Chain A
Amino acid sequence: KAGVTQTPRYLIKTRGQQVTLSCSPISGHRSVSWYQQTPGQGLQFLFEYFSETQRNKGNFPGRFSGRQFSNSRSEMNVSTLELGDSALYLCASSLGGKEDTQYFGPGTRLTVL
């Protein structure tokens, strides 16, 4: 079974621009979660989508948004990029049940100049 895939793997943007990252979950998985990883803040939960609905949200500004499609693929969008948004963005997928395991993709490295 193919793993979680994320595109693009690397991205360079400038301040003020917006960016969209994509995540394709493992086949059959209905939950997709997004995490931001930075050297200063570590791994932080952004949001989780399950069956096209946002089920949980972390403590990030409204510039960070996401969505999930009927095939469980998910996108996250960051508008009005700031230098501090430079990070590794990780996507994880799971079946979405209670005793569940999340499987992570390789991440998208976003650099904001």
Chain B
Amino acid sequence: AQSVTQPDIHITVSEGASLELRCNYSYGATPYLFWYVQSPGQGLQLLLKYFSGDTLVQGIKGFEAEFKRSQSSFNLRKPSVHWSDAAEYFCAVGGGNYGGATNKLIFGTGTLLAVQP
């Protein structure tokens, strides 16, 4: 079965510190991978995506993620966290692997990031 695991429910980092949010997936074929961010009461904003090619992808707001097929992981990183990064982060997997195209996304349970001053 396809699934996404985000092992860390809640993470607290100090402003200026580096950040890594973990994401592991289970998928029957080459996955399309996404990271979204959600501020309280808001919808989801796309941070970055991986379809193919270079396994290190850059996103908005200084975020990057690395696809590691051997580890079935797609961890999100940021070298220096800002207070405005406090939000909930969701990893998702999807892909047109069903003969036709489909946009169904399977989400992880999310990681809530708190930033200490």
- Footprint of B on A, CB under 8 Å? 4, 31, 33, 35, 42-45, 48, 50, 55-56, 58, 90, 92, 94, 96-107, 109
Contacts and interface: CB of A to CB of B under 8 A. Distances in A.
Interface extent on B, as a size class?
Answer: 20 to 34
B74 to A, nearest CB: 15
A66 B102 CA distance: 16
Contact of B101 (A4, A96, A107): A96
Contact of B103 (A4, A33, A90, A106): A33
A43 B107 contact: yes
A29 B41 CA distance: 25
B106 A104 contact: no
A43 B96 contact: no
A55 B14 CA distance: 44
A98 B100 CA distance: 8
Interface of B: 32, 34, 36, 41-46, 49, 51-52, 90, 92, 95-96, 98, 100-110
B56 to A, nearest CB: 18
Given A48-B102, A56-B102, A100-B101, A90 B96 contact: no
11 contacts: A42-B109, A43-B92, A43-B107, A45-B104, A55-B102, A56-B98, A90-B44, A97-B96, A101-B34, A102-B46, A107-B43
Contacts of A33: 103-105
Given A48-B102, A99-B32, A42 B107 contact: yes
Contact of B43 (A44, A55, A101, A106): A106
Contacts of B43: 4, 90, 104-107
B51 A94 contact: no
Given A43-B107, A99-B32, A104 B101 contact: no
A100 B104 contact: no
B7 to A, nearest CB: 14
A97 B42 CA distance: 26
B42 A107 contact: yes
